[in-house]
Amino acid sequence: MYRGIFGAVAAALLMTQAMASQKAAAQEDGAYDAYAEEFAVEPLTAEQQARMPAARRLADLAMPEGSYAELAGSTFGISPEYELEADPFGALYGALAYSSAVAEIAGAKAGQAMDILDPAWRERQEAQFAHQASYSRAMIERFEPIMRDAYAELFAIRFTQSQLQDIEAFLRTDSGAAYAREALSMATDPRVSASIYSRPELWEVPAALDYSALEATLAALPAARAFADLSARERARLAALTGMSEAELEQAMREGAEMNAAAEAAAVATDAAIDHGH
């Protein structure tokens, strides 16, 4: 029953970061207003409004504090407490401009290569993973009350006062069966999307997620090494580990550094757009 209720909104969490960036950019040209209008829904009728107290009690019971985070994690592996292991292959792909040669590197060689290219690569990844975990926790915390509000309205729309009371008590009645059936379709109701797009607090970056903390952590780490920084022995060792010639390594490292710098600049621009949107 709970999987039917929360499935779609848990999936929505996967899109949250992209949506936040899109929203920040859209604010510059007014496109966000068009998004909100696209998901506009009819206001509740007086009869539905009268059922809201019972519907809200049901929503509080159906989605207790912390349940959304737990369900999102079990259904989609988006636990706010997730831990990621260091990924030398991912780091090496970035360092060498996503060269196809990296795919041929086996086992510990990727880590050994990264130890030469960027001795602080593990700490760099750990800082990024920790920041992503904080972001996920914050977004889950923001989604839960918004989803609770949306489902309270849907309960008021879809069920009678008598049914709401029966479901609230979790009785095995015909009303309870109706609730189970409706829960499956409610997960895709446009009112859920309307609630997401109409609540500006969802898009506000909380102080706990101040990107300056991540930037300071990364700035304190030693810079990744350029080809010119490597000794002849290190160049030879890196060539042996990757199967690339020294000329190929030099080009890949230069292109990788340029790509990483461009990605970092784009992230800074996105953060600035989000801040400006506040």
Query: Taking residues 56-84, what's their average pLDDT?
Result: 66
Residue 140 has pLDDT above 50, yes or no: yes
Q: Check residues 175 and 248 and name the one with the higher pLDDT.
A: 248
Q: Check residues 156 and 175 and name the one with the higher pLDDT.
A: 156
pLDDT for 7 equals 44
Distances (CA, A) of 211 to 45, 102, 128, 271: 43, 31, 11, 8
pTM listed for this prediction? 0.53
pLDDT for 115 equals 92
Q: Check residues 40 and 17 and name the one with the higher pLDDT.
A: 40
pLDDT for 34 equals 67
Confidence class for position 79, pLDDT limits 50, 70, 90: low
Q: Counting beta carbons within 10 angstroms of the beta carbon of residue 42, is it exposed (0 to 12), middle (13 to 18) or buried (19 or more)? A: exposed
pLDDT for 176 equals 67
Name residue 237's amino acid.
R
Residue 142 and residue 195 in contact, taking contact as beta carbons nearer than 8 Å? no
Query: Taking residues 100-125, what's their average pLDDT?
Result: 85
Q: Counting beta carbons within 10 angstroms of the beta carbon of residue 201, is it exposed (0 to 12), middle (13 to 18) or buried (19 or more)? A: exposed
Provide the 8-state DSSP code for 87.
-
Digit-coded pLDDT (tens) for 184-237: 567 667 887 788 777 777 766 565 566 778 888 888 999 999 999 999 999 999
For 26-43, the DSSP string reads: HHHHTHHHHHHHHT--PP
Digit-coded pLDDT (tens) for 18-53: 455 555 555 555 666 666 677 788 999 999 999 999
Rounded Cα distance, 194 and 39, in Å: 5
pLDDT for 273 equals 64
Rounded Cα distance, 133 and 81, in Å: 7
Ordered by start, the domain boundaries in the chain are: 2-277
> Which of 42-51, 170-179, 246-255 bottoms out in mean pLDDT, i.e. has the lowest?
170-179
Rounded Cα distance, 121 and 123, in Å: 6
Confidence class for position 4, pLDDT limits 50, 70, 90: very low
Confidence class for position 80, pLDDT limits 50, 70, 90: very low
Residue 240 has pLDDT above 80, yes or no: yes
Nearest to 3 by CA among 107, 93, 73, 86: 73
Q: Check residues 243 and 61 and name the one with the higher pLDDT.
A: 243
pLDDT for 30 equals 61
Digit-coded pLDDT (tens) for 115-126: 999 999 999 988
Average pLDDT, the chain: 77
